[in-house]
């Protein structure tokens, strides 16, 4: 196999949670371009069905399975239905995350329900997805957890999210040790990307983004794009990374 062939995902079946929009959609389409069949999971059925059609247009099988990643039974159903309908499960991307009310708060002002929600969606759901996948994966499979550079530093007004994402890093390393050598587990920590969720939570407009870049002093001189994360996910899922596990790959424009 040539070096470039190692980046292909032909014959793989990938599940992307939170796959209806943003980074999840970009990863789904990137993996389809690399040859993988793709299962999209999220609560918004119409969004994942639309992405499934985009996958099909790229010549791969696409399947939408409506799933609430806060519900263990639905996560198990997602993994089970993937194997039943697609024949196998070899890549699982835990991308679903965020906050339900998209409101920034200092830790002292965080309601208990919001702490529980963010810990559940951003950490527990990652664990639940990983174990549901691992029970059904064959040798050579890969789990990829989408984290954030928020996990590395104090996070003003976004503490629950940052704490959960820091937990994802340790969870990733623990899973990597426990699942090796059969299954690899890695994480990607994106930098600031103006997704719908980020724009709404920070009350940003497109016109304000150059000022954000200057304020953050991003070395590469721009905000991230959803498509910046897809190549990293393809690499970690592919044979090119067959000796890479337990790592957190930062894709942040130099931050």
Query: pLDDT, tens digit, for every residue of 2-16?
Result: 999 999 999 999 999
Residue 24 above 90 pLDDT? yes
What is the pTM (predicted TM-score) of this model? 0.96
- Residue 212, classified by CB atoms within 10 Å of its CB into exposed (0-12), middle (13-18) or buried (19+), is middle
Distance, CA of 35 to CA of 227 (rounded, Å): 17
Residue 199 above 90 pLDDT? no
DSSP of 130-143: HHHHHTTPPTTEEE
Across residues 33-45, what is the average pLDDT? 98
21, 60, 161, 226: the catalytic one is: 161
Banded pLDDT at 191 (limits 50, 70, 90): very high
Give the other-Cβ count within 10 Å of 100's Cβ.
11
Q: Which two tokens stand for residue 103?
A: 């409101």
Which element (helix H / strand E) includes 87? none
Measured in degrees and rounded to the nearest 5, phi and psi for residue 71 equal -120, 110
Distance, CA of 34 to CA of 56 (rounded, Å): 13
Distance, CA of 146 to CA of 19 (rounded, Å): 12
CB 127 within 8 A of CB 52: no
Whether 235 is catalytic: no
Topology (CATH level 3) of domain 4-197+226-244: Rossmann fold (3.40.50)
What is the rounded average pLDDT for all residues in the chain?
95
At 47 the pLDDT is: 98
Domain-wise residue ranges, the chain: 4-197+226-244
Q: How far is CA 29 from the centre of its chain?
A: 13
């Amino acid at each position: 196999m040539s070096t470039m062939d190692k980046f292909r995902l032909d014959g793989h079946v990938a599940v992307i949670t939170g796959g209806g929009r943003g980074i999840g959609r970009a990863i789904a389409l990137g993996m389809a371009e690399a040859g993988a069949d793709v299962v999209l999971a999220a609560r918004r059925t119409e969004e994942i069905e639309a992405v499934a059609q985009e996958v099909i247009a790229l010549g791969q099988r696409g399947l939408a399975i409506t799933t609430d990643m806060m519900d263990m039974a639905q996560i198990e159903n997602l993994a089970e239905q993937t194997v039943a309908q697609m024949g196998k499960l070899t890549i699982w991307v835990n991308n679903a995350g965020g906050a339900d009310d998209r409101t920034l708060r200092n830790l002292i002002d965080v309601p208990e329900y919001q702490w529980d929600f963010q810990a559940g969606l951003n950490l527990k759901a990652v664990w639940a997805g990983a174990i549901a996948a691992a029970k059904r994966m064959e040798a050579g499979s890969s789990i990829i957890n989408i984290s954030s550079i928020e996990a590395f530093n104090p996070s003003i007004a976004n503490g629950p999210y940052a704490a959960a994402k820091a937990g994802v890093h340790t969870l990733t390393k623990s899973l990597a040790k426990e699942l090796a050598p059969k299954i690899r587990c890695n994480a990607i920590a994106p930098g600031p990307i103006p997704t719908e969720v980020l724009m709404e939570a920070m009350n940003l407009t497109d016109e304000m983004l150059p000022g954000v870049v200057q304020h953050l002093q991003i070395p590469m001189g721009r905000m991230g794009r959803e498509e910046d994360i897809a190549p990293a996910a393809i690499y970690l899922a592919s044979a090119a990374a067959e000796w890479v596990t337990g790592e957190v790959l930062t894709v942040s424009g130099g931050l």
